[in-house]
Structure 1
Amino acid sequence: MKTIKNERGFGLLEVVASIVLITIILLSFFAFFIQSKKTNSSSESINEATYIAQKEMEKIYNLSKQSSLSNLSRSYINGYTFLEEEINNCTNSSTIDPSTYGKIFSYQKDIDNFTSKITISTLCDYENAGNVLIEVSDSSDIQKAKVENIYVWK
């Protein structure tokens, strides 16, 4: 029976080459994990902002079923700070765009780490209809969610 007596082992060059290869592979995986964490964090922030916008839109919907649009005033929406009121002249002219806004009310509220801004605009040609726009921004004023709907008020 022949036995092989090769006791040389691995050379220094082979060991260094294998370490370099393993390092390159591990670095690419680490870069992938870091990017994945950033994406996950951004997605979580957008989901939270969307949830806040949806929740606030449901509150406005309930408000539209309980109150008339003409009762909207500077302090009407609970918890929100009144920002501004803009009044545009609505005429019954046939040249006016049916989506032209009459009164525009803006409100703002801080919720968790976000700022929610509500803009309610009356539609000139539809007496009880109001366009509701909710924009949610993060602490660095970057918009994370935007929800818009038209409600017919009581």
Structure 2
Amino acid sequence: MTLVEIIVSIAILSIIVLTFLTFYIQSAKVNNTSKDITDASYIAQSVMEEIYHLSNTLSYVDTITYLSNNYNVDSSDSYYQYIFTKQSEGSNNYKISISFTSTTEDLKKVIVKVYSDLNILEAQLETKLLWGS
């Protein structure tokens, strides 16, 4: 083998390696983003399940009182709308926002939003729940 053949083979090999290296870098970025969204979705689902449980076991007023003790009350408009926020605990720092809006006396629209530490919406769940007396 001559020196020219060795240099050409190294150049071809480096082009191939660089091509696959960019695939691995992009794959790592996508995996990281996917993990963040999955974590935020899990947090939103857990909070929504907790609220569903509260709607079956407590009255609406007792639920608001319970959430007021565990979350920060950002906004309240008497009986019709409440917004609660909380910073999640763990490795990733998420802001959880829970919004209640009355559609009828017992039927409430519940929106759970999970924001990243950069205030970017990562997950959102909405439902309507019927509260018992």
Per the normalisation by structure 1, the TM-score is: 0.78
Say whether the 8 Å CA contact 1:68–1:128 is kept in structure 2.
no
User: How many residue pairs are counted as aligned between the two chains?
Assistant: 128
* Residue 50 (structure 1) aligned to one of 32, 38, 41: 41
1:109 and 2:86 correspond: yes
Q: Which residue identity is paired with 2:32?
A: S
* Residue 24 (structure 2) aligned to one of 20, 33, 38: 33
Q: Percent identity?
A: 32
Q: Which structure 2 segments of 5+ residues have no match?
A: none
What stretches of structure 1 move > 3 A for 4+ residues in a row? 70-73
Report the RMSD for the aligned CA atoms in angstroms: 1.5
Match of 2:130 in 1: 152
Say whether the 8 Å CA contact 1:86–1:104 is kept in structure 2.
yes
Structure ID, larger Rg: 1
Per the normalisation by structure 2, the TM-score is: 0.89
Q: Which residue identity is paired with 1:52?
A: I
Q: Which residue identity is paired with 2:17?
A: L
1:14 and 1:86 mapped to 2: Cα distance?
78
Say whether the 8 Å CA contact 1:69–1:130 is kept in structure 2.
no
1:131 and 2:109 correspond: yes
Q: Which structure 1 segments of 5+ residues have no match?
A: 1-9, 88-101
For 2:66, what is the secondary structure of its paired residue?
A: coil
Normalized per residue, the structure richer in helix is 2
* Residue 56 (structure 2) aligned to one of 55, 65, 72: 65
For 2:70, what is the secondary structure of its paired residue?
A: coil
Match of 1:141 in 2: 119
